[in-house]
A and B are shown apart, each in its own frame.
Chain A
Amino acid sequence: MLRTKLALIFILIFTTSCKQLFTDDELGLVFEKTLISSLSYESTFKINAAFPLGKTISRPVGVWQRLLETDNYCMDYRIPSKKKTGIITLVKKEANSICPALPIYEPFLSLDNISDFNFKLLNNFISGKKIRKATYGMSLTFLYKNEKRKIEITLVNMNRKIFKENHDFLKYQSFGTKYWKKGLRISRVKNRKIRTNPWLVQSLKKDSSGELNFCERVDRTCKVIGKNSCYECLAGWIPVVDFNCPNGGSKVCAPIDCGKKGMPACPRGTKWKGVEMLELCFDNSPAGFCEGELKTMCDDNKVLICN
């Protein structure tokens, strides 16, 4: 009886140590398909700038590195050394949307015995030329048990903002194509997330002091102070006149009656005047306009207003 028990225990230890008896090929397939299923509808891709896209990742050897962070997942890689095998893992983000610290002992998905790993993100620009029907996606190539593998994932929701070529708007472009390819997005209903706060509406502070609630505040070095929350405005946003930064000055959620007495001046720019200046907030500044006979003046908050 004892021997039977021992045999059974041995079988259990044996089988559980064999990753449910997947063959190497099956393990590769499970990895590939789970990866496609998990990442297909992700939209934001934060790439570790230390590893240039499309280049084989070979250093620092034997160390875990975070390669990529998406809306819901983090992709990590232990670069192979003589003593340690290469492992690629995918881990789900924690509740606060933060990637757990490395190394991760229980990843959501992993594949061992990897080497010569490289990945790249594709867009519809090749060598600066726009390709009409190109697919947005991700491509991973690596050696798995010394066999070359390639995984290609179409990323329909990939935020175009990560590609520098698409940063500037073009003539005839529609706003709808700014983030999403052709304004299209696909998602699983079960993955839908609900905001805990309402959309932002208030542009004037409730104490009727005329003070503004900024959704983006910039300083004189054009650095954004705090967090930019203009994308959370219920009805869009409006720029106010303070500093002439590459991305405009500070912003408030719409609606706000610019140009009226006591309200921010409507932006007018300064290039029309033949001058370019950084600080736009001073009395009678030409960088803003007001209705009728009102004049522009700089208020205590360093915003150009109408008076």
Chain B
Amino acid sequence: MKKVKTVLFTLLLTLTVFGVIVASFKWTNWKKLNKLDKDVQVISKINVFSETLIKKWEQGASAKEWPSIKNSCPELGIKGNVDPSYSKCNSTYLNCVLKKQKEFNILQSKEGLLYSVVSRASSLEEDIPHYFLRILLEVDGDLFNIDLEDICRDVYLPQKIYGYKVKKDTKRKFSWVWDNFNRNIFIDKFLVTNREVNEWITTTNQNLEKHSPNERPAVFLKKDKMHQYCAFKGKILASAQVLEAASFYPSLSSVKPGSTLIRYDYPWVRRNKKSFLYNLLMNKDITLSKENCKRAYVQDCFEITPFFNHMTKSSSWSGIFEILGGPFETFENNLETDRNLRASSFYFPGNHSVHKIGEKLSWDGVAHLDKNIEWGSEKPVGVGGRSLEIGFRCMKYAQN
């Protein structure tokens, strides 16, 4: 009887231990599967969120949102005329978008800022681009980074033969040409804005004055600071040759070796007579319109309409904007070093001959007074003693 009891006891004990172990394994398995399931769901949710985010980042404010943008996103601090394209890849606009979302817990980098600027100048993280925005999400105790690169600012310069207008060029044919076959070049579509420079000043703790309004081109930096700004973005200051390549309408033969290239003076047309600037120059009896000023904001435009910022009506064949009129634009010129300033600007009246692509002046890059510019015979009236506005844009080389 005792033996039976012992056997039964042993069996019962064994079964109990077995049952407990099995149950504990099953419980652990259930927990593991549950955790994995949750993890996969979080990944899927973040993927969906990032898709929505990238859409807003890339497309900016919609045509419907734009008229009321000053109320819906007062942080943008818009004061003047601005094209909606200004909200594309714009960190301030993105911050407004992020503030409105309720789905995720986004950690603030600073008071009121739901993103941080990361650049190679300040981070040694592996495999990061030169510059991007980072959004930090907290989901169930796990931290995730959503990184957004600026995909709206630059454009690819197709591989072709291009012309550059040297000082002695008087005929319709370029006398100095070059090509970028086997070299990939990206150039900024727009002049760098105050918003971008102010962001750089904050991120890199530069001892520089910030300027407003944010949407205006950044026009008060000295040349060495322009170089530093472009380097921060992993770029270099745009060169005269690249800028003119992206501005001059290319000849049809510009992919054929050794071809002769014809120069077209205006970025929008091959025939000069179709350009209002040419007609103004020829003293044709035409009245400057608001639409004309959207293309090239020349001096006479001040009487017609306030300046247009980030205007996309003035596109060149390659997709760059702000080519003629507006503030001056400086560039690097390693061929004719004393010709480093685009002459066409709102300092000259519409009927002046400087309003053509390739017309250049010389700037010493040190200050913004009239004496810092070599005007030659072109000095317009009213520039003496003023701080002159000189903008810039960047470019970069890339590998396939």
Which residues of A are at the interface with B, using a C-beta cutoff of 8 A? 3-4, 7-8, 11-12, 15, 20-22, 26, 29-30, 33-34, 36-37, 40-41, 43, 154, 156, 167-178, 180, 182-190, 192-195, 198-199, 228, 230-231, 233-239, 244-248, 251, 254-255, 257-260, 266-276, 289-292
Contacts and interface: CB of A to CB of B under 8 A. Distances in A.
Nearest to A40: B43
A10 B340 CA distance: 86
Interface in B142-156: 142-156
Contacts of B68: none
Contacts of A273: 257-258
Interface stretch (B9-17, B96-104, B295-303): B9-17
Interface string B385-400: 0000000000011111
Contacts of B155: 172-174
B153 A174 contact: yes
B217 to A, nearest CB: 20
A255 B146 contact: no
A273 B177 CA distance: 8
28 contacts: A4-B13, A11-B17, A15-B25, A20-B28, A30-B33, A41-B43, A156-B50, A171-B319, A175-B156, A176-B149, A182-B58, A183-B150, A184-B53, A184-B149, A186-B50, A186-B144, A189-B145, A192-B126, A231-B399, A234-B121, A235-B235, A269-B182, A270-B179, A271-B161, A271-B181, A272-B178, A275-B258, A292-B337
A254 B231 contact: yes
A251 B184 CA distance: 13
B36 interface: yes
A170 B398 CA distance: 13
B81 to A, nearest CB: 25
B36 A37 contact: yes
A33 B36 contact: yes
A34 to B, nearest CB: 6
Interface residues of B, number: 83
Given A169-B400, A239-B397, A272-B177, A36 B40 contact: yes
B236 interface: yes
A34 B25 CA distance: 19
Closest 4 interchain pairs by CB?
A: A274-B258, A259-B334, A183-B149, A269-B179
Contacts of A156: 47, 50
Interface string B112-126: 000000001100111
Contacts of B304: none
A4 B14 contact: yes
A234 B120 contact: yes
Contacts of A175: 154, 156, 186, 396, 398
B8 interface: no
B288 interface: no
Contacts of A154: 44, 47
A33 B37 contact: yes
B182 A245 contact: yes
Given A173-B155, A175-B396, A193-B126, A183 B148 contact: yes
A244 B182 contact: yes
Contact of A33 (B40, B47, B178, B239): B40
B390 to A, nearest CB: 20
B78 interface: no
A29 B136 CA distance: 30
B367 interface: no
Given A188-B144, A248-B183, A180 B156 contact: no
Given A7-B17, A176-B129, A234-B234, 8 more contacts: A154-B44, A168-B400, A173-B156, A194-B125, A236-B396, A247-B400, A272-B179, A275-B258
Main secondary structure of the interface of B (DSSP, over half): mixed
Contacts of A172: 155-156, 319
B162 to A, nearest CB: 8
A139 to B, nearest CB: 16
Contacts of B148: 183-184
B39 interface: yes
B335 A11 contact: no
Contacts of A245: 182
Contacts of B398: 169, 175, 178
Nearest to A246: B182
Contact of B179 (A8, A257, A259, A271): A271
A177 B54 CA distance: 12
Contacts of A236: 130, 231, 234-236, 396-397
Contacts of A235: 120, 130, 230-232, 234-236
Q: Most chain-A Cβ atoms within 10 A of its Cβ — which of B125, B127, B132?
A: B127
Contacts of A257: 334
B18 interface: yes
Given A172-B156, A236-B130, A269-B178, A247 B125 contact: no
A228 B400 CA distance: 13
B379 interface: no
Contact of A268 (B22, B125, B143, B179): B179
Contacts of B14: 4, 7-8, 11
Most A Cβ at <10 Å: residue of B13, B37, B154, B400: B400
A272 B186 CA distance: 20
Given A187-B145, A230-B399, A174 B334 contact: no
A195 B47 CA distance: 27
A63 B142 CA distance: 39
Contacts of A268: 178-179
B46 interface: yes
B276 to A, nearest CB: 26
A44 to B, nearest CB: 9
Contacts of A8: 14, 17
B212 interface: no
B227 interface: yes
Contacts of B184: 169
B362 to A, nearest CB: 13
A173 B159 CA distance: 13
Interface in B288-345: 318-319, 334-337
B158 interface: yes
B250 to A, nearest CB: 11
A164 B373 CA distance: 49
Contacts of B18: 11
